[in-house]
Amino acid sequence: MATQVKADICVIGGGSGGLSVAAGASQMGAKTVLVEGGKMGGDCLNYGCVPSKALIAAAKKAASLKNASVFGVTGPDPAVDFSKVMDHVQEVIASIAPHDSVERFKGLGVEVIQGYGRFISENELEVGDTRVTARRFVIATGSRATAPPISGLDEAGYLTNETIFENRTRPDHLIIIGGGPIGLEMAQAHARLGSKVTVLEAFKAFGRDDPDLSAVVLKTLREEGIDIREGVKISDVKKDASGTYYISLEEGASSEILSGSHLLVAAGRKANVEELSLEAAGVDYNPKGVVVDARLRSTNKKIYAIGDVAGSYQFTHIAGYHAGIVIRNALFRLPAKVDYSAVPWVTFTDPELANVGLNEAAAREQYGDKIKVLTFPFADIDRARTERQTEGMIKAITTNGGRILGAGIVGPHAGELIHPWGVAITGKLKIGTMASFIAPYPTYGEISKRAAGSYYTPSLFSSRTRAIVKFLSLFG
């Protein structure tokens, strides 16, 4: 006989967003059930943000030693022990895991059921021999890597973000299918740790980013020896008995067979919805995920969806943002709605590429010519010169009246430098606020003030201003 569990709120998925809802709801007094069939912490902790940034950090250390001679510091090239690098990655995961553990959430008063759930009615979920009835459900099942339909790919096998951090042998030649953020982050990290790397992109690398900014990153990656091929078609993938991959390429009228020791597929993600039996709950979904309204409610208004499975931005911080929206709706009955006008995203290559709000193309589509584009290079920032990190720029977008619509930064610490622009967009601030704050010298953050100040350059140094100054000088 099935065990019956009743709850105020049942969260399906123990990733970033689901854990935030579960912790918040329980501590606010709601009887909370959390259902998770895989690893607590989800994709971000185990296969995504955390391990990738740990690997990138190790690669940066290797690169800094190799490039120290420009500062007058010389020494032997670093010796990379790839297995120990992966030990570092796993140690970082292990250090964070207790925060996301079953034990911690039980301590917060959450009833944790370990297993995969499926709906059997509009308000009932079955998890093994347990049935959960709840007033509200939150689907937070995330997404997983998906592969393009390439002949022979499934038979050959390949790495994804879920398996690459288990690899203990440094690839002699890593071939990456996909020239988006994940593919290019992993390309640079492995290249800096001593692997030959080739990236294959069917369209354009960094295709969703501002081309002026992404060009800076691509130039750096190519200078570091990464072979990035855009507009290629992969017709076939084979793997021989020795484990060597053979990738058949078509580039225009020419063809080539590329061989490599390892193959990583980073060419898109798919929402985890198939096993939930959403039809039984009256929840509509599509290949992007659960169909939700601005309050993150599904077509069954008592069932919400957050994070990757909600079909919008696939970022950990968006899952956390969604969690707050759902708590306000589900627990406090407040009609909170999502607002994506200030969504930030960062690619953690070196240099970093960060964005928030509208980029230039999106702003022109929405506002036409009624925008101003403000740019400033890191080469003119003294702190960047002292550290010889002068590649890159900032690009800020405002209305003609000075309201900040978006910003993009490519350069050192771009992921940190983008923060005040997000605050400005959220607060509907004008560019004068960014131009008038006092920036400490010498810091990288000066670039935001300098870019904002350029909004006033045409009028400040105009012939009209010179005439006014000349006129006022007549009065002593």
Looking at residue 472, its pLDDT comes to 84
For residue 1, pLDDT beyond 80: no
The answer to whether the bond into 181 is cis (omega within 30° of 0) is no
Check if the beta carbon of residue 402 is closer than 8 Å to that of residue 432.
yes
Region 166-171 average pLDDT: 96
Q: Are 271 and 289 in contact (CB under 8 A)?
A: yes
* Residue 250 pLDDT grade (very low, low, confident, very high; cuts 50, 70, 90): confident
Question: In this structure, are strands 393-399 and 404-411 parallel, antiparallel, or unpaired?
Answer: antiparallel
164-169-172-174 Cα dihedral, nearest 10 degrees: 0
- For residue 461, which phi and psi values (nearest 5 degrees)? -110, 30
Q: Which residues are paired to 190 by β-bridges?
A: none
SS3 379: helix
Predicted confidence (pLDDT) per residue in 394-444, tens digit: 999 999 999 999 999 999 999 999 999 999 999 999 999 999 999 999 999
Q: What integer pLDDT is reported at residue 76 of this predicted model?
A: 83
Look at residue 77 in the predicted model and tell me its pLDDT.
84
Q: Would the pLDDT of 252 be above 80?
A: no
Sequence-distant (6+) residues with CB within 8 A of 179 are 199, 200, 201, 203, 204, 205, 206, 207, 228, 230
State which amino acid sits at residue 242.
S
The whole-number pLDDT of residue 190 equals: 98
The 393-399 sheet, strands edge to edge? 344-347, 352-357, 404-411, 393-399, 371-377
How does pLDDT run across 140-156, given as a tens digit for each residue? Answer: 999 999 999 999 999 99
Q: Beta 130-139 vs 303-305: how paired, if at all?
A: parallel
- Predicted confidence at residue 67, as pLDDT, reads 87
Q: State the average pLDDT over residues 337-363.
A: 97
CATH superfamily of the domain spanning 3-40+101-145+270-330:
FAD/NAD(P)-binding domain (3.50.50.60)
At 341, is the pLDDT very low, low, confident or very high (cuts 50, 70, 90)?
very high
Q: Please tell me the distance from the alpha carbon of residue 64 to that of residue 398, in angstroms, as a whole number.
A: 37
Reply yes or no on whether the pLDDT at 139 is more than 90: yes
Percent of residues, the chain, with pLDDT higher than 70 = 100
Angle subtended at Cα 177 by Cα 173 and Cα 181, rounded to the nearest 5 degrees:
105
Distance between CA atoms of residues 360 and 456, nearest Å? 19
Domain 3-40+101-145+270-330 identical in fold to domain 153-267: yes
Supply the pLDDT for residue 464.
Answer: 85
CATH number for region 344-460: 3.30.390.30
Q: Do the beta carbons of residue 418 and residue 425 sit within 8 Å?
A: no
> Can you give the residue ranges of every domain in the chain?
3-40+101-145+270-330, 153-267, 344-460
Crossing angle of the two packed helices 16-27 and 316-330, in degrees rounded to 10:
30
pLDDT higher than threshold 90 for residue 465: no
Q: How far is CA 355 from CA 124, 165, 170, 397, in A?
A: 41, 27, 32, 11
Architecture of domain 153-267: 3-Layer(bba) Sandwich (3.50)
